[in-house]
Amino acid sequence: MSSSQGSTYAGQQSLPRLPIPTLEETLERFPSTVSALLSSSSSSNDNDDNKEMKECLEEVHKFLTTDGPKLQKLLIEYDEKGKEEGNVGSFIEEFWTDAYLAPDSSVVMNLNPFFVLEVCICDVLQYFHTFV
């Protein structure tokens, strides 16, 4: 092998690591992200959505004052240990490998939040059959 060639991951350790957002930054963004999951069906009204959002915000605050800081600390320690030992390139790497690269089943149908959050996969399949 020539000196210009190397293994696929030869430069992995020299890449910058993904930054870990603060817990506060993450929880600040969470409500707007989860708002798409609120029950906004034709039978619900704004009061139901407001109630769900209020409950969501209460849970976010509860998480920020209970388990959140402990879990954030563990995440930072995990990232630092991976950096020191050189066996994990990023805090998300192991999850990514386990969730998206390791499964033998269809990633699209079994890991994509759109499909996982569906009430019934039958509805999704019926939807796709309308285009066939």
pLDDT digits (tens, 9 = 90+) for 32-58: 888 877 765 444 566 766 888 899 899
Q: How confident is the model at residue 7 (pLDDT cuts 50, 70, 90)?
A: confident
Cα–Cα distance between 116 and 44 in angstroms, integer? 22
pTM of the complete model: 0.64
Tracing tokens 């407001």 back to the chain, one arrives at 50
User: DSSP for 72-125?
Assistant: HHHHHHHHHHHHHHTS-SSTTHHHHIIIIIS-SS-HHHHH-HHHHT-S-HHHHH
Q: How many CB atoms lie within 10 A of CB 124?
A: 14
